[in-house]
Chain A
């Protein structure tokens, strides 16, 4: 890059956009996609609390102009390995730093099987037609809001996983995104699983400095062709100074299964839209959400399980523990189209409030147009029962040990649904280390 282009370019301005386009040698279709998203981005203002979706999530302290398109920089320190791959024999891994890929590898065996796992830039060179077909076209809508358009216009890093027809990938693939202090990550994850294929992906985020500010504005797209099976594990572990905005959508076709685990531990504020569309008969989706918030964290998850085809099942379970002044919002919707007869939909959100000033809002919802369906939902919010603590103490547990056991027990129902030990351990350890002694 020549010295003249290093001059100050304001945040996400038209000049910054032009510079991004110039600096990346991307095909015309992608430039057009970015341009159209940028137009939307410019035409929209940041959401306000007047909007239904943002009523409970205050981003007045978020100043977009304090951030800018991330430059490719070399991390000055060694990046963490990530917690999800501990003890796991992975088939490939990608690491990105401040939204740029710094490491990418895939085993020769998987490469020979036709599996693709690489950065967006790599895959753009190898298989541009794949990206043209799937990137921000089928799942996430770039024009949905200010953040989705910002992401689509400016995304830099990210990863693509493609599993060809009838290919069963035994080794999980691992992607880690790391933010440095003040960093910006606009990473995109795209997973395409062809008919009859099977794969597990571990995706996690981390910050080098738990307190430093940062921003992530990302998207996850999971595309499943008929009779495919995907386990997708997403651990959001940004530092507590990071603003986290994400649109995540899965499209699940006929007879496919999706097991999606979300661990949400980090960020200063999160606003995540998680959307699963069951578009083919007999599809199944299970979502396991684990959240633990502390300090002044605010995590807002809006989930949508959209039954578009008949005889699909969906099962969402979110468990949240909160301490200090933290706050969570969970808004879950089961939407059943007229065509989606014999739907079996379930959603549940349980909240455990550990300290007086934490607050959890649970808003389950149903929108049903078919008549032959079964949909159930529920939400609970409660505190640790002092009688439980006393009981454990009479058996020799300290008060803190008792609380830790009770909190981990609260999450056990979700852990029981997660077959990967590294994932259970990573979440279990993170939870155990957070639990304190409460009055």
Chain B
């Protein structure tokens, strides 16, 4: 049976302020979905809510991975169940080498029932695997010896996220602007990499402003988020249209959502006025 990630009527608030106002989205494993929308429309919020960030309060709705209630699970349980979020701004953990971090992560995700303190996957086995993956991604082994995201350039952080995606092989991955901060060549490489590491075996939710990331990962579905809701779903053509023409048509077609967007962004905008 194909794995399914199902989000229904999801409402999410941050510090009491509603951000998502009823999101419905179903992703089957093997599908690629593009999530587009103007800044502040709630795209990243959806990613954090799926993964269980403590600051994102679920006020209504549900998320299910097959028949498992995701909202009942701790963040790490979600990761072990096969969910992955590539962060738009990955966090640095000074003093923790990327290779050690990933060995621990890979062990936990592959052995979801592992208890703390139990053996990690053997070093030799792990080293061989990460070396292969890094070669494949044209990454130098030296990179794995650096501390997690510590002093990484924007591009290096994104590549480190892709490496982690490649090692963890989740069922579903949310890639939150994994292309931002990259130049055109780097985006092409990232796009190629995601396709190479078996993106086709995952359900992908690609949050992006650009169409380049979608080049090697053509979505079956493109969704537009506005004012905390998915207002339109189409094909890859919709993604291309939005990339070329922007969101004016969408705002006109969905005046209620556009008004909500305006209201949501007011606080951020007003100081500059």
Contact = CB atoms under 8 A, between A and B. Distances in A.
Interface of A: 385-388, 390-402, 405-406, 408-413
A396 B53 contact: no
B76 A391 contact: no
B193 interface: no
Nearest to B109: A396
A413 B53 CA distance: 29
A401 B116 contact: yes
A179 B84 CA distance: 51
A395 B164 CA distance: 8
Given A385-B91, A396-B168, A412-B94, A405 B104 contact: yes
B94 to A, nearest CB: 6
Contacts of B93: 388, 391-392, 405-406, 409
Interface in B105-120: 105-109, 116
Interface string B234-262: 00000000000000000000000000000
Contacts of B54: 386, 390
B159 to A, nearest CB: 16
Given A393-B75, A395-B101, A409 B53 contact: no
Contacts of A400: 116
A408 B75 contact: no
Given A396-B76, A396-B105, A401-B104, 11 more contacts: A390-B54, A393-B74, A394-B51, A394-B75, A395-B102, A396-B104, A396-B106, A396-B168, A405-B96, A411-B95, A412-B96
B95 A393 contact: no
A69 to B, nearest CB: 44
A356 B106 CA distance: 32
Contacts of A385: 91
Contact of A397 (B76, B78, B95, B164): B76
A385 B107 CA distance: 24
A385 B53 CA distance: 13
Interface of B: 51-54, 74-76, 78-80, 84-85, 87, 90-96, 101-102, 104-109, 116, 147, 164, 168
B41 to A, nearest CB: 22
A406 B101 contact: no
Given A406-B93, A406-B96, A412-B96, A394 B85 contact: yes
B83 to A, nearest CB: 8
B91 A391 contact: yes
Contacts of A410: 94-95
Nearest to A408: B95
A436 to B, nearest CB: 12
12 contacts: A385-B91, A392-B105, A394-B76, A395-B105, A396-B80, A396-B168, A397-B105, A398-B76, A398-B116, A401-B116, A405-B96, A410-B94
Contacts of A399: 74-76
A400 B108 CA distance: 13
Given A385-B91, A400-B116, A401-B104, A390 B96 contact: no
A393 B77 CA distance: 8
A238 to B, nearest CB: 27
A390 B101 contact: no
Nearest to B149: A391
B75 A390 contact: yes
B79 A396 contact: yes
A413 B93 CA distance: 12
Contacts of A391: 87, 90-91, 93
Nearest to A392: B93
Contacts of B74: 393, 398-399
A393 B51 CA distance: 9
A385 B168 CA distance: 24
Contacts of B87: 391, 394
Given A405-B93, A408-B95, A394 B84 contact: yes
A388 B164 CA distance: 16
Nearest to A400: B116
B90 A409 contact: no
A406 B87 CA distance: 18
B75 A413 contact: no
Contacts of B105: 392, 395-397
Ranked 10 nearest A-B pairs via Cβ? A409-B95, A412-B95, A396-B108, A393-B75, A395-B105, A409-B96, A391-B91, A396-B79, A396-B109, A393-B76
B178 to A, nearest CB: 14
B99 to A, nearest CB: 13
A412 B102 CA distance: 17
A388 to B, nearest CB: 5
A285 B93 CA distance: 29
A249 B29 CA distance: 66
A394 B82 CA distance: 10
Contacts of A395: 79, 101-102, 105, 108-109, 164, 168
A358 B104 CA distance: 29
A354 to B, nearest CB: 15
Contacts of B84: 394
A217 B37 CA distance: 68
A386 B93 CA distance: 11
Nearest to B107: A396
